[in-house]
Amino acid sequence: MTNNALLNMTGLPPFSKIDPSDVVPAMDQILTESRDQVKRLLDEAVTYNWDNLVMPLELIEERISRIWSPVSHMNSVINSDDLREAYNACLPKLSEYSTEMGQNQKLFNAFKQIAQSDEFLLLNEGQKKIINNAIRDFRLSGVELANEEQARYKDIMQQLSRLTSQYEQNLLDATNDWKKEIHDKSLLNGLPESSKGLAKQMAENEKKDGWLLSLEFPSYYPVMLYADNRALREEMHKAYSTRASDQGSNRDWDNSPLMDEILALRHEAANLLGFKNYAERSLATKMAANTEQVLGFLNELVEKSLPVAKKEYAELQAFAKKEYGVSDLEAWDVPYFSEKLREHTYAISQEEIKPYFPENNVLDGLFSVVNRLYGLQISELNNIDTWHKDVRFFEIRDEHNELRGQFFLDLYARQNKRGGAWMDDCLTRLVVDDQVQAPVAYLTCNFSPPIGDAPALFTHTEVITMFHEFGHGLHHMLTKIDYPSVSGISGVPWDAVELPSQFMENWCWEKSALDNMAKHYETGEPLPDALYNKMMAAKNFQAGMQMVRQLEFSIFDFRIHVEFDKAVYENGKGARIYEILNQVRDKVAVVKAPEFNRFAHGFSHIFAGGYAAGYYSYKWAEVLSADAFSLFEEEGVFDQSAGKRFLENILEKGGSKEPMELFKAFRGREPKIDALLRHSGIA
């Protein structure tokens, strides 16, 4: 026994006993032991099988993530210098370990041997999936390539990592470089007080008089929405949409050559692995079957939503002309007049709504939805060791009183906590010798804490966020798959992982669900119908315009990866990025982009992030979740047999089967786009 709390863990992490000084020694020890164990497994057996290789590997990986999970979680929610330093010191160790495993030729051969053995046919679906996924991932890491090609592949990966981080750096430098000092306060007319306050504070931070605007989103975006001064909007729009480009203020940060090179290297890497292009490579780990299916899907959405988007845009033009005498809407006018039109048509103040959504009512309402759909009981447990006094802990039991999962709930924003909302796994379901380890989740949000004696009050958007993250949580906690790498959300493809979360959001709009939870915290009065009707009416404001904008990004991202042409590139004509973007815009966009617009130079999701040839996933998952909910619209929003089908075919199955098969088993057919269009008011 050591004194290191991370190495003595059984069950839930002992948060109060974990010291930052424990982290590096614990990870060093666990990674060394894991390496030894893998080596021993490979050396000891002659013929590999599930019991002597795959299951032991599952346990080795599970042990690493069980120890790393509280460290990485605490780094996000109670950050400190010591913890961050320890966390950062471990990142390269972990990535080195996983690269080593991913390139382990002997391990790859062992998996192939099992896949070809007679025993393989006797394994269950989850077990087969683990083996097939492993072989796929080995191949995608280039392990099967001949020596020379493998060296080139590694070289490409290193170059890509350098180029994409340079892209991001240029964008950051260009964003930080632009500032505008304001001395005449009337220039800021229209901005909310909070934005003016931010501008004042930014000026003070730089020891300047007046106000300071920047291209960071919290400064930039309110100007686009609210600033009455058209010239100011134009100036900032231009600065923002030309960042890190040939049109920008400083050519040193021009991303143009990097973007061409990134696309060329991705294409070459995909070719080495035997794919026609990088989009095919991207789909190798996703739900979508092939590139034609993705483009067909996106184009079908365009066809249906473009007429609606055009109509909405015409309404906006008419409104700007009639109310403001502006007849030539430019890109920098669209958000501004849209906001005016929204206020004009659907004025709702969040302050009016919040008193109806006190914390405990929202939680009770959420738990009652889950109870009515799946027959689950959720109750709070006290005296659990957590990382902060505001954190609550709950357990989920099913109709047979079987413990299905537990979760930590950390709702409020505070210092040293990363922003946003997310679900993460603390423990994953695992069965060893008939002993079940129940899954445990972290549900983290950044809502306003209670003020004075009042309970915490949530906006409707926050309620939706809560349901969304809880949907991820249910996917993780209700799994019945016994092996960590395909249980819960593990091994679920990227374009399918948002299905259970977006699916849960639907109940936030259902009157019968709201009646249960939306009650005034002082009077107990239910949410007034007039307010509910306004919320519903505002829900789909400019849904068509938003849809075609997302489709423009998705189709652009996909086409530049599908249509990359090596011969054209080698002729010095680049990757045709803007040629393709302009074609897409001609077909899809309703708001005309100015000539100077260099959107792609700042599209870091696909040039620097993980969304390359994958941006379509957002829409894809929305189709799945809307279509899944449509079964409940047909059968009743609390229909238990529909709930049972969703539970048994989706939530319990995790990544153990292809998501298309799971979806078909649940819905009785392949997904259709109709429900999404109807829910967005587009159909």
- 359 vs 424 by CB, closer to Zn ion: 424
| The one among 104, 127, 501, 680 contacting Zn ion by CB under 5 A | 501
CB of 348 to Zn ion, least distance (A): 25
Give the span between the Cα atoms of 88 and 388, in whole angstroms.
22
CB of 462 to Zn ion, least distance (A): 15
- 282 vs 501 by CB, closer to Zn ion: 501
Q: Which residues contact 370 (CB under 8 A, 6 or more apart)?
A: 376, 378, 396, 470, 474
Active site residue 261: no
Q: What residue is closest to Zn ion based on CB? A: 501
Number of residues that bind Zn ion (CB under 5 A): 1
Stretch that binds Zn ion, among 228-236, 498-506, 534-542, 631-639 (CB under 5 A): 498-506
- Residue 416 contacts residue 79 (beta carbons within 8 Å): yes
Stretch that binds Zn ion, among 28-36, 386-394, 496-504, 565-573 (CB under 5 A): 496-504
Select which of 61, 62, 395, 469 is catalytic. 469
Q: What is the DSSP letter of 647?
A: I
Give the span between the Cα atoms of 171 and 667, in whole angstroms.
44
Cβ neighbours of 412 (radius 10 Å): 16
Site string for Zn ion, 447-486 (x = CB under 5 A): ----------------------------------------
Give the span between the Cα atoms of 573 and 561, in whole angstroms.
16
- 280 vs 469 by CB, closer to Zn ion: 469
Which regions of 329-434 does DSSP assign to beta strands (E)? 377-381, 392-397, 403-412, 422-427, 430-432
- 198 vs 466 by CB, closer to Zn ion: 466
Q: How many residues does the chain have?
A: 683
Stretch that binds Zn ion, among 25-33, 233-241, 344-352, 495-503 (CB under 5 A): 495-503
**Binding positions for Zn ion, 42-101, rule CB under 5 A:** none
Question: CA 510, 515, 516 angle in degrees (round to 5)?
Answer: 105
CB of 421 to Zn ion, least distance (A): 8
- 245 vs 501 by CB, closer to Zn ion: 501
CB of 492 to Zn ion, least distance (A): 12
Concatenate the DSSP letters of all residues of 485-498 into one string.
Answer: GGSTTTT--TTTTT
- 164 vs 501 by CB, closer to Zn ion: 501
Give the span between the Cα atoms of 258 and 262, in whole angstroms.
6
- Residue 619 contacts residue 671 (beta carbons within 8 Å): no
Stretch that binds Zn ion, among 7-15, 127-135, 494-502, 571-579 (CB under 5 A): 494-502
Give the span between the Cα atoms of 440 and 12, in whole angstroms.
8
Phi-psi region of 410 (alpha: psi -120 to 50; beta: other; left: phi over 0): beta
CB of 76 to Zn ion, least distance (A): 16
- 358 vs 471 by CB, closer to Zn ion: 471
CB of 502 to Zn ion, least distance (A): 7
CB of 72 to Zn ion, least distance (A): 18
Stretch that binds Zn ion, among 361-369, 501-509, 539-547, 645-653 (CB under 5 A): 501-509
Backbone phi, psi, residue 409, to 5°: -125, 115
Three-state secondary-structure class, residue 445: strand
Residue 663: closest CA among 503, 547, 507: 503
**Binding positions for Zn ion, 98-137, rule CB under 5 A:** none
Whole-number Cα distances in Å, 62 to 58, 102, 386, 422, 432: 6, 16, 21, 21, 12
Residue 509: closest CA among 306, 681, 301: 681
CB of 261 to Zn ion, least distance (A): 32
**Binding positions for Zn ion, 403-432, rule CB under 5 A:** none
CB of 291 to Zn ion, least distance (A): 25
Stretch that binds Zn ion, among 115-123, 369-377, 497-505, 602-610 (CB under 5 A): 497-505
Q: Does residue 617 interact with Zn ion by CB under 5 A? A: no
Give how far the C-alpha of residue 21 lies from the chain's centroid of Cα atoms, to the nearest Å. Answer: 31
Torsion of CA 212, 217, 220, 223, to 10 degrees: -120
Stretch that binds Zn ion, among 23-31, 256-264, 318-326, 493-501 (CB under 5 A): 493-501
Give the span between the Cα atoms of 253 and 168, in whole angstroms.
10
Cβ neighbours of 158 (radius 10 Å): 10
Three-state secondary-structure class, residue 381: strand
- 273 vs 489 by CB, closer to Zn ion: 489
The set of catalytic residues is 469
**Interacting residue ranges for Zn ion, rule: CB under 5 A:** 501
